[in-house]
Structure 1
Amino acid sequence: MKKFNMKKTTQFISILLLFTSLFLTSCSSDDSGESNGTTTGNYFPMKLNNVWNFNANGNTEQLKMIGTDEFGGTTYYELQDEGDDSGLNTQNWVTKKGATYYQKIADITTVQSGVTINIKGYQMPMFKDDLAVNETWSGTLRPKVTFTYNGNNGSLPTTVTYTGKITARDVTEVINGVTYTNVIKTTMDAETNVDGEINSVFSEYWFAKDIGPIKEIQILNGGVSNERTLINYVLN
């Protein structure tokens, strides 16, 4: 009988959690008691069929708002992202409350090396448009992670910690020959810990007022780097 490789499983879950929290919490909500702030503008326009096309190492990847759902009386916009590297086509949504932009991830169920893994959905603040340069936001998520193997069930202690920071605002940048004004630049440091298996990702995002995301960079565990930049967009 094949032996259950716990280390391999926890490593897979830890990496998977990073892939689903890159951008760019239902059961594990981080929409905690903090104020959502007063918005200074629309840095991620949310309407059905809004589209952003990115250059990703010579390939075109599309980000599109394909539907809406309501959670807790708030409308969320479902995203379809061709740059999703998890391979699971996980549902995810965005919404805006005050000055705070949230990303919500659906429950995930997958099978890895014969182990059925379930990760409860979660939500985290992507960025806040009312913060000054060098101001930060941070938090800790504890999504419920369970597994089933050969009829046996178990759970794994899991945390996702993150710190976001505004690195520039109201700046002008040229991306693929197009000039964008009123740009906010942010960074996000995230770390997952699944039963002691730790992985990290550093992300950088640029948002242009009334346009949305224009540049994204992710660095996994200090090594592998992915970057994409806006080519064009269609807003409704």
Structure 2
Amino acid sequence: MKKLVLALAFVSALFTSSCSSDDSNSSPSLGETTGNYWPMEVNNTWTFSSNSGSSELRMIGVTTINGTPYYELSDDADNVFGVQNWVAKKGATYFQKIADTNINQDGVSINMQGYEIPIFKDHLEANSSWNGTVTSRVNYSVNGQNSSTTATIKYTSTITEKNSTVVLNGATYPNVIKVKTKVEIKILNQTTPIDLEYWLAKDVGPIREYTSSNGSIQERTLTNYMLY
């Protein structure tokens, strides 16, 4: 079984860059928002540049779950396995929800149970952190032999800067919050570390993202965006 397959599925779905079943916007743990750092509306689009070319992140639909709208994302750069995923905002906390994932590659068939992770908190001050652990049931088949295991995803996120002003591709963005996240995925006693960094600008959304895993680095920066 190739641990990299599941690691890549996770990275492609997470973005950007605790599992939570609390859907109450009034929960104290969700915080009181300080602004809109990821505008959510169908057809909102962000275009990025990188060494590998241009890519587009777009909100293509919305689903209401327990009274909260979840916006489905389409990312033509990262979602190599077609993993369906959504973002939602509850209080000051931004969540990414991952659907059940089915992967077939090199004779290996994998089904990974979906999960939800808080990826950003706009009310925290610089140097504030949050962390958690998500477990996901994994069923897989190799050469016709079926088995199952549990994937454990541990993460620690830290606000590294707040209210920064940055210049990217000739554009100036004030009110930027920068976040770093360290992820550790453990499957069948094999561990894959992933480092993520993402910047979000108030009333704009994601403007930069960086991913490093097993020596592979991906980085892209915003060149244009359209909000509805």
1:234 correspondence with 2:220: no
> Of the candidates 197, 200, 206, which is equivalent to residue 207 of structure 1?
200
Q: How many residues align?
A: 224
Identity of aligned residues (%): 43
Distance 2:4 2:210 in 1: 23
1:134 correspondence with 2:102: no
Q: Secondary structure at the match of 1:144?
A: strand
Map Cα deviations across residues 44-76 of structure 1 (whole Å, 9 max, x no partner). 000111011001115111111110112223210
1:75 correspondence with 2:69: yes
Distance 1:230 1:138 in 2: 27
What's the CA shift for 1:125? 0.7
- What residue ranges of structure 2 are gaps of 5+ in the alignment? none
Distance 2:209 2:95 in 1: 17
Structure 2 partner of 1:5: none
- Give the TM-score normalised by the residue count of structure 1: 0.88
After superposition, the CA RMSD in angstroms is: 1.9
Q: Secondary structure at the match of 2:30?
A: coil
- What residue ranges of structure 1 are gaps of 5+ in the alignment? 1-7
Structure 2 partner of 1:59: 53
What's the CA shift for 1:31? 4.4
Q: Secondary structure at the match of 2:123?
A: coil
What's the CA shift for 1:30? 3.1
Distance 1:188 1:72 in 2: 28
Map Cα deviations across residues 124-155 of structure 1 (whole Å, 9 max, x no partner). 01110000100001100001111134554321
Matches within 5 A, 1:79-228: 79-84=73-78, 86-149=79-142, 152-221=145-214, 223-228=215-220
2:13 and 2:84 in contact (8 A); partners too: no
Distance 1:151 1:225 in 2: 34
Change (3 A) 1:76 1:179: same
What residue identity is the alignment partner of 2:191?
Answer: I
Change (3 A) 1:90 1:16: closer
- Give the TM-score normalised by the residue count of structure 2: 0.91
Distance 1:207 1:11 in 2: 28
2:139 and 2:148 in contact (8 A); partners too: yes
1:14 and 1:194 in contact (8 A); partners too: no
Change (3 A) 1:35 1:148: same
